[in-house]
Amino acid sequence: MDYSYPIRHDWSTEEIITVVAFYEAVEKAYETGIAREQLMEAYRAFKKIVPSMAEEKTLFKEFDEVSGYACYRVVKAAKEGMDGEMIKGTRA
């Protein structure tokens, strides 16, 4: 990992940890796969920090640009998936 996670400087330490945990879950989906429920749990926690869809899109885009991992794709796959399913990201 040779990039910085997109964060906002007005977030608390706890909020930054929560958002970084979501980014790490997305990375895991691409690198090894992640259990659907684990990804959804990280996403739900992320949404408590970033409830705005516009801000979510902005952060997803920033993360996608620095990492090459598409948050939207894995979240969409997790939302459409079934419990117990492994989510694996694929690059376009």
Residue 50 belongs to domain spanning: 13-87
The reply to whether 2 falls in a domain is no
Q: How many CB atoms lie within 10 A of CB 32?
A: 9
Contact 87, 41 (CB under 8 A): no
Indicate the number of domains in the chain: 1
Stated pTM of the model: 0.93
- For the domain that residue 83 is a member of, what is the CATH number? 1.10.220.80
Q: Is residue 50 part of a domain?
A: yes
Mean pLDDT in the chain? 93
Report whether pLDDT(1) > 70: no
What share of the chain in percent tops pLDDT 70?
A: 97
Q: What is the pLDDT of residues 18-59, one digit of tens each?
A: 999 999 999 999 999 999 999 999 999 999 999 999 999 999
- Strand segments, DSSP code E, in 9-76 are 34-35
In whole angstroms, give the CA distance from residue 28 to residue 8.
Answer: 22
Q: Rg of the chain over CA atoms, in angstroms?
A: 12
Q: Is residue 78 part of a domain?
A: yes
**Is residue 19 a part of any domain in this protein?**
yes
Residue 92: per-residue pLDDT = 57
Per-residue confidence (pLDDT) for residue 91, from 0 to 100: 66
In a domain, 62, yes or no: yes
